[in-house]
Chains A and B, each alone.
Chain A
Amino acid sequence: QPVLTQPPSASASLGASVTLTCTLSSGYSNYKVDWYQQRPGKGPRFVMRVGTGGIVGSKGDGIPDRFSVLGSGLNRYLTIKNIQEEDESDYHCGADHGSGSNFVWVFGGGTKLTVL
């Protein structure tokens, strides 16, 4: 099954841009990844799904146009432009693998984004 790796922290100034990275383990370069935003004390919220061709399907409800994704090789990126205070959150990536009794859904460790 794939392993998803995320840097534990990132920071960006108000109004700036930041790119968060989720790296799939070797051999899983064709996998799609979901991004989730989790504000402090809240449940996660679906942001969007990304493959090597970019976004897959639609963004989650209420996700602003400032959020975009790209995929390249083993990396899946989430870029946030014109960062706002409300973007300060933990960002998780997840991927499902297998089918039937072998199904698993794995997550990265999450990246805590601090808005300066």
Chain B
Amino acid sequence: EVQLVESGGGLVQPGGSLRLSCAASGFTFSSYWMSWVRQAPGKGLEWVANIKQDGSEKYYVDSVKGRFTISRDNAKNSLYLQMNSLRAEDTAVYYCASPRVRWGQGTLVTVSS
């Protein structure tokens, strides 16, 4: 069964850091672009970042450029999102996705003092 399982969310103070992880199984992870997409409470989806199969290309939404870093480890079938300088507006459920294959169940990040 194709699965994506996120972890690493939690409560963090403004200006703090958090690292999200996503464990993939049931498909050839190394063959797919991967994405992080977030959803603020009661809001729609917002794309955050993409990474190419071999990690050589990475793209970010303007609001997180310079603060967030997407990475992957194909040997471990894992995707990561390092989030620094977090702001209240980053509060959201963060989904790991191979968009036309599978999405995870999400992990909640709350930025608050």
A residues near B (Cβ < 8 Å) are: 34, 36, 42-46, 49, 57, 60-61, 92, 94, 100-101, 103-110
Inter-chain contacts of A103 with B (CB < 8 A): 50, 59
Complex formed: what's the CA distance from A1 to B37 in Å?
Answer: 18
Q: Is B95 among interface residues, defined by CB-CB distance under 8 A?
A: yes
**Segment at the interface with A among B40-48, B66-74, B79-87:** B40-48
The closest CB in chain A to the CB of B98 belongs to A46
Whether the pair B100, A46 counts as a contact (CB closer than 8 A) is yes
Report Cα–Cα, A103/B52, bound state, in Å. 12
| CB of A73 to closest CB in B, whole Å | 23
**Nearest-CB distance from B75 to chain A (Å)?**
25
Q: Given the known A-B contacts A44-B45, A92-B45, A104-B47, are A49 and B100 also in contact in the complex, defined by CB atoms under 8 Å?
A: yes
Which B residues lie within 8 Å of A108 (CB)?
Answer: 44
Q: How far is the CA of A1 from the CA of B106 in the complex (A)?
A: 27
Q: Which has the most chain A C-beta neighbours within 10 Å: B37, B57, B95, B100?
A: B100
The chain A residue sitting closest to B4, CB to CB, is: A43
